[in-house]
Amino acid sequence: MIELRNISKSFSLQKQSFKALDQVNLTVAEGEILGIIGFSGAGKSTLIRCINLLERPDEGQVLVKGMDLGQLNARELARARKKIGMIFQHFNLLSSQTVFDNVALPLVLEHLPKAKISQTVTRLLKLVGLEDKAKEYPKNLSGGQKQRVAIARALANDPYVLLCDEATSALDPATTQSILQLLQDINRRLGITIVLITHEMEVIKAICNEVAVIDQGKLITKGNPEALNADPEHPIIKQFLNPTIMTLPQQLNSKLREVPQDGLFPLIEIQLNGNISFDKLLSLITAGAKAPYKLLKADVTYSGNTNFGKVLLQLQGNTTENATIMQSFHQHNIKNTLKGYA
């Protein structure tokens, strides 16, 4: 559906040239939800803006549905862009217009008959769950509702691609979830291919079936979210896979010692990188050494059949039992860190 071939883009800043994109090759299949992650300044927005040529690459080709966008004249490009919807972090709604008129705008620009516009806007507002807000102005809406209006507007021209640049970054976690659900629904029901930028691994895990990692203008990897595990030590991937910092409970922190002591038990932080399920991890401890343990904290999220996250536990067996458990972690290639004894 989308093919970026060898895209490079430089910006000149204070007479210096800065390469924002460096020979990026990326393919997005029809019906896919691709998430692009990377740190601030990595080139994510530049990349997504290249897909509709809001940003023209210095080198390379952009193909959407087989059309080489760089070869189109202004009129043809304008027509092609109508089929590529886009939404942004700050919604970009017209504050002086009602919800209805904001969604209607692309259709008014098309000079469609009033009745047709009204019918389409009503259908779209229903799709995004805002039928009752048609006459409201954006200032009277919550962030999530504003983003729904922006989504409805982006769908007005019946696009086959929807580009989302940090569409949930300004929203609280619960609203983020509902917008992600809506995007997934749109993808499934309308078959629209979605490319979304995020700096949150949670967003990727929630709805993306493909993920691309970009760093300093270069595409580091692209594959299904589980494939990130193939290179978990890559500094960027590592940070995205393990965003949680597990702090020790206060009462243990004050007792923490670096070397074993009588009456103290090891505290182990385990990283779940998709190679073992959380349930299996626990059964490994109970079944293997049959030793007591205490689960102190767990932050586990599921992506498809795989889980990622961190687990903090205290092994409470005797020295031999605890060593057996540690040994089995090693055998099963489970990444763990001994935080100390408490």
Ligand X SMILES: Nc1ncnc2c1ncn2[C@@H]1O[C@H](COP(=O)(O)OP(=O)(O)OP(=O)(O)O)[C@@H](O)[C@H]1O
Q: Which residues bind ligand X (CB under 6 A)?
A: 11, 13, 20, 38, 40-46, 199
Q: With CB under 5 A as the contact rule, which of the stretches 38-46, 145-153, 224-232, 264-272 interacts with Mg ion?
A: 38-46
For residue 167 the two structure tokens come to 């569409």
106 membership: H or E segment, kind and range: helix 99-109
Q: How far is the CB of 199 from ligand X (least distance, A)?
A: 6
Binds 46: which of ligand X, Mg ion, none (CB < 5-8 Å by kind): ligand X
Q: What are phi and psi of 308, to 5 degrees?
A: -125, 160
Q: Are residues 73 and 122 in contact, defined by beta-carbon separation less than 8 angstroms?
A: no
The Cα 212–Cα 195 span in angstroms is: 10
Q: Among candidates 341, 320, 322, which has minimal Cα distance to 263?
A: 341
Q: Are residues 281 and 272 in contact, defined by beta-carbon separation less than 8 angstroms?
A: yes
Binds 252: which of Mg ion, ligand X, none (CB < 5-8 Å by kind): none
Residue of minimal Cβ distance to Mg ion: 45
For residue 3 the two structure tokens come to 């093919």
| Residue 145 contacts Mg ion per CB under 5 A | no
Q: How far is the CB of 310 from ligand X (least distance, A)?
A: 24
Give the nearer residue to ligand X in terms of CB position, either 210 or 215. 215
Q: How far is the CB of 213 from Mg ion (least distance, A)?
A: 15
- Beta-bridged to residue 55, according to DSSP, are none
266 membership: H or E segment, kind and range: strand 266-273
Binds 187: which of Mg ion, ligand X, none (CB < 5-8 Å by kind): none
Among 36, 42, 45, 341, binds Mg ion (CB under 5 A): 45
- Maximum Cα interatomic distance, the chain, rounded to a whole number of Å: 83
Give the nearer residue to ligand X in terms of CB position, either 37 or 84. 37
**Contacts within 8 Å (CB) and 24+ apart, 113-122:** 120/156, 121/152, 121/156
Give the nearer residue to ligand X in terms of CB position, either 107 or 194. 194
| Residue 187 contacts Mg ion per CB under 5 A | no
| Residue 46 contacts Mg ion per CB under 5 A | no
Give the nearer residue to ligand X in terms of CB position, either 90 or 335. 90
Q: How far is the CB of 203 from ligand X (least distance, A)?
A: 13
Q: With CB under 5 A as the contact rule, which of the stretches 39-47, 137-145, 256-264, 287-295 interacts with Mg ion?
A: 39-47
Q: How far is the CB of 34 from ligand X (least distance, A)?
A: 15
Cβ-proximal residues to 58 (8 Å cutoff; 6+ apart), any chain:
8, 9, 10
3-state secondary structure of 122: helix
Q: How far is the CB of 213 from ligand X (least distance, A)?
A: 11
Give the nearer residue to Mg ion in terms of CB position, either 45 or 242. 45
Give the nearer residue to Mg ion in terms of CB position, either 45 or 147. 45
Q: How far is the CB of 76 from ligand X (least distance, A)?
A: 25
DSSP 8-class letter at 171: S
**Beta strand 210-215 pairing with 33-37:** parallel
The Cα 163–Cα 28 span in angstroms is: 12
Binds 198: which of Mg ion, ligand X, none (CB < 5-8 Å by kind): none
Binding residues for Mg ion, how many (CB under 5 A)? 1
Give the nearer residue to ligand X in terms of CB position, either 41 or 304. 41
The Cα 254–Cα 222 span in angstroms is: 43
Give the nearer residue to Mg ion in terms of CB position, either 163 or 248. 163
For residue 91 the two structure tokens come to 């919604």
Binds 43: which of Mg ion, ligand X, none (CB < 5-8 Å by kind): ligand X
Q: What are phi and psi of 238, to 5 degrees?
A: -55, -45
**Contact residues for Mg ion, defined by CB under 5 A:** 45
